[in-house]
Amino acid sequence: MKQLISLKNICRSYRNGDQELQVLKNINLEVHEGEFVAIMGPSGSGKSTLMNIIGMLDTPTSGEYYLEEKEVAGLGEKQLAKVRNQEIGFVFQQFFLLSKMDALQNVELPLIYAGVPASKRRKLAKEYLEKVELTDRSHHLPSELSGGQKQRVAIARALVNNPSIILADEPTGALDTKTGNQIMQLLVELNKEGKTIIMVTHEPEIAAYAKRQIVIRDGIISSDSVQVEKEEN
């Protein structure tokens, strides 16, 4: 399998007055194409900081980050923005949909930033809303959608540029159990289609959907295990 992400001795610290708080300590991690990885850990363990570094929303204090064998530190702001727009799709706990835009317009947003012509944008947005089974909600505003429907719109938006990686930060955190499981089934199907998914969660039952589980405690990886796939009857 092709290596997508390689983190080498990644550290992240923050200044708090005279003190230095070390959030990540010498993280070494590789993620290959087609993996479904859950990053787990208690509050304050560093899992969200690690996700933000992978998504290029934060920068490490030290260490090296390679995305598809290119060192991220060598990319300028415009290049980073392009990678975030085209190579990585983000799904967040709070959805982050624009309230005055309907579902279709929200899905179109990454395509606008990518400079895709209007007619092609609309066609792609419709395709991806269909993919998450929300065609009948295309012209509904976020206020007119349930939590699960909002997360489906957010997933369609994350997918519309056909990124190689989906980063999902607590994707079921704002949902009830049944709806959360439906969202996880959708992510499983996307992974079966070849998408690489990296998800942060603090819930073991949600992490169980992933094929690989990484546990972070006190800024270090304490375990990294791969599930043995069960044979279907």
- The encoded tokens of residue 205 equal 């039952």
Q: For residue 165, what pLDDT band results from cuts at 50, 70 and 90?
A: very high
Q: 73 with 8: CB under 8 angstroms?
A: no
Q: In sequence order, which residues have a C-beta less than 8 Å from that of residue 76 and are 6 or more positions away? A: none
Q: For residue 84, what pLDDT band results from cuts at 50, 70 and 90?
A: confident
* pLDDT over 80 (residue 213): yes
* pLDDT over 50 (residue 170): yes
Averaged pLDDT, 194-209: 93
User: What is the model's pLDDT at position 230?
Assistant: 52
Q: Domain spanning 34-59+77-226: which superfamily?
A: P-loop containing nucleotide triphosphate hydrolases (3.40.50.300)
pTM: 0.89
Q: In sequence order, which residues have a C-beta less than 8 Å from that of residue 78 and are 6 or more positions away? A: none
Averaged pLDDT, 4-29: 93
Q: 133 with 120: CB under 8 angstroms?
A: no
- Across the chain, mean pLDDT equals 91
Pairing of strands 88-92, 165-169: parallel
- The encoded tokens of residue 106 equal 């929200």
103-127 pLDDT, tens digit each: 999 999 989 988 899 989 999 999 9
Q: In sequence order, which residues have a C-beta less than 8 Å from that of residue 89 and are 6 or more positions away? A: 157, 158, 159, 161, 163, 165, 166, 167
Calculate the alpha carbon distances from 101 to 44, 96, 197 in Å: 34, 12, 27
Total length of the chain = 233
As a whole number of angstroms, the distance between CA 57 and CA 40 comes to: 19
**15-24: Cβ within 8 A, 24+ apart:** 22/219, 23/49, 23/219, 24/49, 24/50, 24/53, 24/60, 24/219
